[in-house]
A = this chain, B = another copy of it.
Amino acid sequence: MTNTQISESATPQDGPGADAGSLAIVCGGGTLPMAVAEAASRRGRRVVLFPVRGWADPAAVERYPHHWIGLVQAGRLVRLARAEGCRDVVFIGSAVRPSVLDLRLDWLTLRSLPALYRSYRGGDDHLLTTIVRVCEEHGFRVLGAHEVAPDILVPAGSIGSLSPAPRDLADIARGLALLRAIGPFDVGQAVVVADNHVLAVEGAEGTDGMLARIADLRARGRVATPVGVGVLIKAPKPDQDRRVDLPAIGPTTVTEAARAGLAGVAVAAGSAIVAEPADVAKAADAARVFVYGFDDRPPQ
């Protein structure tokens, strides 16, 4: 991409490296935000973190310039990101759906409140979409984490030494079809299918909570399939804004899947994120489960 093109239309369609300047990373929980910060730094980008209070890891963010923000403190984010010379913003990390009472609203947020309230009622998707729109209205370009750090996208094929068996591939296909069917309802992005039987659909409890439930059901004799059968399937919703909420896996996902007695973890290649792929491969081999990136393009 040439400079000419950039000056002609500085829109989100421009490549992520097209614009010099600092990158604002709004950090949720987990290890992903730091993996993205490191990958962007390696590419020569100055990074400023905006860790969200209650979610981000205080020790980890110390390594970069950072400003703590409350969730939905859009005014503080906009002001500080501008002062830091950021034009691009990335939202990344796990987000626990907050109690409305825990939200620290500031003035800009209050002005957006009717829209935020409507989006809050409509599910997580809409909440994030609204925050993205507020940032865009204030001149920022919101990028997907994978655009500033493409190496965090799950590749096609196996991570680690094990691969899915034909039965696992059938479970993956069924799980993906189920995820497509529930897509319009803004439920979770993950299901567990064991030998063609749907064991669980992710709801407000999140992926780790769902896997812990299966481990618990299994301990009480409530799971009919033997240990080593069944797959955790994760894929983005069909009409998801891929800049803000791509499904993600990490070493914990792998160890929790093993504890739930599953054969492996399957995620949409190219549209799911893996923090610390080397650690994920190590965890997968140690737990004797597969981690597999499948092609999730809808059937033509």
Residues of A at under 8 Å CB distance from B? 96-100, 102, 120-124, 174, 177-178, 181-182, 184-187, 192, 195-201, 203-205, 209, 213-214, 217, 221-224, 226
Residue of B122, B197, B217, B224 near A197 (CB, 8 A) is: B122
| Most B Cβ at <10 Å: residue of A181, A184, A192 | A181
Q: Is the CB of B199 within 8 A of A203?
A: yes
Docked CA distance A174–B187 (Å) = 12
A sample of 8 more A-B contacts (CB under 8 A), given A96-B222, A200-B203, A203-B213, is A99-B223, A99-B224, A102-B221, A121-B196, A122-B197, A178-B182, A186-B198, A204-B217
| Most B Cβ at <10 Å: residue of A97, A184, A195 | A97
Docked CA distance A278–B131 (Å) = 48
Docked CA distance A221–B98 (Å) = 7
Taking the nearest CB of chain B, how far is it from the CB of A234, in angstroms?
A: 15
Taking the nearest CB of chain B, how far is it from the CB of A237, in angstroms?
A: 12
Chain A interface secondary structure, helix, strand, loop or mixed? mixed
Taking the nearest CB of chain B, how far is it from the CB of A81, in angstroms?
A: 26
Q: Is the CB of A222 within 8 A of B198?
A: no
Docked CA distance A185–B223 (Å) = 17
Q: Which residues of B contact A178 (CB under 8 A)?
A: 182, 185, 187
User: Known: A181-B181, A185-B181. Contact between A222 and B201, CB under 8 A?
Assistant: no
Taking the nearest CB of chain B, how far is it from the CB of A100, in angstroms?
A: 6
Taking the nearest CB of chain B, how far is it from the CB of A175, in angstroms?
A: 9
User: Known: A174-B185, A181-B185. Contact between A123 and B198, CB under 8 A?
Assistant: yes
Q: Which residues of B contact A214 (CB under 8 A)?
A: 204
